[in-house]
Structure formats: C-alpha cells, structure tokens
C-alpha cells in the first residue's frame, strides 16, 4: 500500500464514534478530490459504514465502502481500487489485529468520549501503540459526544497531559448528528450550518 495514505480509526471501547469519524473522513477526503477514497469496514457484525451507505438511497457518496476481515483483505482492496486514501474503520474493541493495522497506517485516529471510562482505556491503547514502535506523531485523538464545550475542553486537556496530539475541535453530542446518520448522511451533511462548520473544523485539523 505504498502509494496510498492509510488511515486507521481505532479505539479500545465501542460506541465512541469510530464509524462516525471514518464515514465523515471519507466524505471530507472525497470532497478534496485528491484521488479515490475507500473505507475498509472491519467493524465485524455491525458494518456500520456499510449500513449508512444503504440508507442514503440514490444520494451520491463519493467513496466506496468495502467489508474486510484482515490486513491482507485491506491490501487487496487498496490495490484493486487504486485508492489514494484507505480508511480502516476499526473493530469495536482493540485487539492484536488493531496493533498490526496500526503498524501499517500512516495516520491513526482515536475517537474518545470525554469521561474517564473512555479516556483511560483509549490512552492505554495509544501507549500500547508506542510500545509497538509506532510514532507518537502518527496518533491523534478526537473528543466525541461531550455534553458541553467545558466537558470537551477538559477531555482535550487530559489527552494533552499524556503528551498525545488531540484535535482542538470536537464533535459534541447532538441529536441532529444522529438524525443525519439515520438517513445515511455524514456529520458534514447535517442541515444545521453550525454543526457542519464544527465537523469541518475536526476533519480539517485531522487532514493537515
């Protein structure tokens, strides 16, 4: 996969927004028109990104979603499609496979909720990656589902205290984001201008 930029969206806990970030990142990169974008969905059994694609109906998506089980599957999909950007939507919980995928990724995104129950295991995952020889600069956290800007700021500061990169913008809790997902839309496609701007700040920071 030498000609591709490989993005791994990973986490130690399920339900914190890995698929939301993967789907939104795919949409954002496709809009940049830098080349073909694919999401390799390894969210076994749930296949959330694939579900969202089906909910869109005829509305164009701009990127492909491919169900994969192994790193070999991902490599074959990348070569077969000639993708410029390969986004891996990680499994619900981190595993040995997660660390193997991280070694092959150019950039690793760890979405996390703001509470200690989410932050602690996800910081632990990032530290495990460091122990496997993965560069600290390849890892970036995104704060998700914070109830208030103050909650998001506190979580951001906690991540920074552990000396990891964290995106300054966050995707805070909003029923509008969930309603958009139910229609197969990314967070960048919500009808609310302020929420779209916030999402754009997140993905703009991740792709710098």
Task: Please report, for the domain that includes residue 175, its CATH number.
Answer: 3.40.50.300
What is the average per-residue pLDDT within 46-67?
93
Residue 116 belongs to domain spanning: 5-206
DSSP per-residue codes, 22-37: HHHHHHHHHHHTSS-E
In the chain, the number of structural domains is: 1
162-193 pLDDT per residue, tens: 999 999 999 999 999 999 999 999 999 999 99
pLDDT range class, residue 18, cuts 50, 70, 90: very high
pTM strictly above 0.85:
yes
**Do the beta carbons of residue 122 and residue 145 sit within 8 Å?**
no
pLDDT value for 52? 96
**Do the beta carbons of residue 156 and residue 131 sit within 8 Å?**
no
């Amino acid at each position: 996969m030498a000609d591709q930029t490989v993005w791994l969206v990973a986490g130690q806990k399920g339900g914190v927004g890995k698929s939301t970030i993967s789907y939104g990142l795919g949409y954002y990169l496709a809009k940049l028109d830098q080349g073909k974008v694919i999401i390799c969905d390894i969210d076994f059994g749930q296949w959330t990104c694939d579900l969202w694609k089906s909910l869109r109906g005829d509305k164009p998506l701009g990127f492909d979603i491919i169900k994969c089980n192994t790193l070999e599957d991902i490599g074959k999909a990348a070569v077969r499609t000639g993708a410029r950007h390969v986004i891996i939507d990680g499994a619900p919980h981190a595993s040995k496979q997660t660390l193997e995928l991280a070694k092959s990724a150019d950039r690793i995104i760890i979405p996390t909720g703001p509470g200690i129950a989410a932050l602690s295991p996800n910081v632990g995952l990032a530290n495990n990656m460091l122990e496997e020889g993965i560069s600290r600069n390849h890892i970036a956290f995104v704060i998700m589902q914070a109830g208030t800007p103050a909650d998001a700021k506190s979580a951001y500061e906690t991540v920074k205290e552990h000396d990891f990169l964290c995106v300054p913008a966050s995707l805070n809790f909003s029923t509008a984001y969930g309603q958009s997902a139910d229609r197969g839309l990314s967070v960048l496609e919500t009808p609310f201008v302020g929420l779209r701007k916030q999402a754009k700040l997140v993905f703009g920071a991740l792709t710098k």
